[in-house]
Amino acid sequence: MKNTSGIKNIVKCLILFFILIQFAGCKSTSGINFETIKVADAEATNATKLLYHNIQEIAQKGIAFGHQDATAYGIGWKHEEDPELLRSDIKEVAGAFPAVHGYDIGHIELDRPHNLDTVSFALMRDHIQKLYEKGAIITMSWHLDNPVTNGSSWDKTPAVPAILKGGEQREKYVLWVKRLSDFFNSLKDEKGNVIPVVFRPYHEMNGSWFWWGGDNVTPEDYKQLWRETQQLLKENNVHSLLYAYSPNTISSEEDFDRYYPGDEFVDILGVDIYNHSGNEAFTIDVKRNLEIVRKKAALADKPFALTETGNNNFGEDPYWWTKTLYPGMKDSGAAWVLVWRNAQPSHYFATYPGEISEEDFKAFAELEEILFLDEVEEITD
């Protein structure tokens, strides 16, 4: 008679071993029921749902700090040649990387090697992988060209009807979304899984400076563009996105709702606010806008963020971070704040070594509510 009990015990031990290995490598997912996490894409990957869960967790602890193109370039430098080195103006000042990293994928639709701000998509892909492994949240905007004129995003020629179903530029737009989809699906972690991204398309639609917004589009056409774009992405097998809706500064809930495509098509609510009218007005605007968005987010049971912001007058204000920005968003419940890029000394929105607000930013970074990459990693680990 064969001794099968020993073999059975070995098999049981192997099964238990592999289960333990799985839990050890996925401790961020233990205890999470992904079936209960509802996002705009019903086929979203578990990694995408985990990102949504983590954003909600972060919002309970504080406000994650974000910076556009943080590791691609800064004041006086562009990305290092050493592919293993990540540099950041914020890290050089505060000693830690931003928790949220913003990128723009304008010109991916044209099949170009670089985006409209000269960041190569290959570099972007590499940095996104490295930052994601460290626990960063990746968010992307899309300053795509005008599909009717081939001008920039700021070419105000109305174009939305031309790319909706039945429009004369529909075929071109379908190709553009296919190229966009290929890029999203090319973002892989070290295990080959697609990296989840917060996608913030067609932002600031309540202003008239882009071809997709304000006087250049009807609210009905905008909503349809959002829904059709989302559907095209899904048809291209993109299931790694959380969709963020972010108007420019608003004055009421009605302003927020005017272009809103519907709760079932949006995952994260946001608002973009820049310091155009002086510090006092900016602080009031941020506080009032975040209160409006917070109310909308609570009704929809969704997280929200200050999705784009920055100071236009740093040269005159060494205390903007603690005296102007923070008072506006303190205790707001926002999941993150993202400041725009550091392009050059005459056009920057975060601090850098030697800049007038450097010391104040260090004080801002020390605030308990403001979270950087290492702190966010502890929350979501």
The pLDDT of residue 19: 39
The pLDDT of residue 83: 63
What is the mean predicted confidence (pLDDT) over 163-174?
98
* 12 has a pLDDT exceeding 50: no
What is the mean predicted confidence (pLDDT) over 350-355?
96
**316 vs 212, more confident:** 212
The pLDDT of residue 29: 61
The pLDDT of residue 314: 80
User: 323 CB contacts (<8 Å, ≥6 apart)?
Assistant: 279, 360
pLDDT band of residue 316 (cuts 50, 70, 90) is confident
Instruction: Supply the angle between the helices 219-235 and 170-186 in degrees, to the nearest 10.
Output: 50
**198 vs 22, more confident:** 198
102, 112 contact by CB (below 8 A): no
The pLDDT of residue 21: 38
* 27 has a pLDDT exceeding 60: no
Q: Among candidates 291, 184, 200, which has minimal Cα distance to 242?
A: 200
pTM above 0.85, yes or no: yes
Domains of the chain: 47-380 (3.20.20.80)
CA 343/CA 121 separation, integer angstroms: 18
Model pLDDT for residues 29-68, shown as the tens digit of each residue: 668 999 999 999 999 999 999 999 999 999 999 999 999 9
The pLDDT of residue 30: 60
What is the mean predicted confidence (pLDDT) over 331-337?
98
The pLDDT of residue 205: 98
CA 368/CA 129 separation, integer angstroms: 28
C-alpha distances in Å from residue 353, one per residue of 203, 332, 361: 31, 29, 11
28, 380 contact by CB (below 8 A): yes
The pLDDT of residue 380: 84
Instruction: Count the Cβ atoms, other than its own, within 10 Å of residue 219.
Output: 14
pLDDT band of residue 14 (cuts 50, 70, 90) is very low
The pLDDT of residue 11: 43
pLDDT band of residue 4 (cuts 50, 70, 90) is very low
74, 88 contact by CB (below 8 A): yes
The pLDDT of residue 8: 42
* 158 has a pLDDT exceeding 50: yes
What amino acid occupies position 304? F
The pLDDT of residue 315: 77
The pLDDT of residue 3: 46
Q: With helix as H, strand as E and coil as C, how does the chain read?
A: CCCHHHHHHHHHHHHHHHHHHHHHHCCCCCCCCHHHCCCCCCCCCHHHHHHHHHHHHHHHHCEEEEEECCCCEECCEECCCCCCCCCCHHHHHHCCCCCEEEEECCCHHHCCCECCCCCEHHHHHHHHHHHHHCCCEEEEECCCCCCCCCCCCCCCCCCHHHHCCCCCCHHHHHHHHHHHHHHHHHCECCCCCECCEEEECCCCCCCCCCCCCHHHCCHHHHHHHHHHHHHHHHHCCCCCEEEEECCECCCCHHHHHCCCCCHHHCCEEEEEEEECCCHHHHHHHHHHHHHHHHHHHHHHCCCEEEEEEEECCHHHCCCHHHHHHHHHHCCCCCCEEEECCCCECCECCCCCCCCCCHHHHHHHHHCCCEECHHHHHHHHC
Model pLDDT for residues 83-99, shown as the tens digit of each residue: 678 999 999 999 999 99
User: Where do we find the tokens 């505060």?
Assistant: 94
* 349 has a pLDDT exceeding 70: yes
66, 101 contact by CB (below 8 A): yes
Beta-strand pair 73-74/77-78:
antiparallel
The separation between the first and the last C-alpha atoms of the chain, rounded to the nearest angstrom, is 50
Q: Which residues partner with 311 through β-bridges?
A: 275
Q: With helix as H, strand as E and coil as C, how does 297-354 read?
A: HHHHCCCEEEEEEEECCHHHCCCHHHHHHHHHHCCCCCCEEEECCCCECCECCCCCCC
Instruction: Count the Cβ atoms, other than its own, within 10 Å of residue 333.
Output: 18
What is the mean predicted confidence (pLDDT) over 128-157?
98
The pLDDT of residue 237: 98
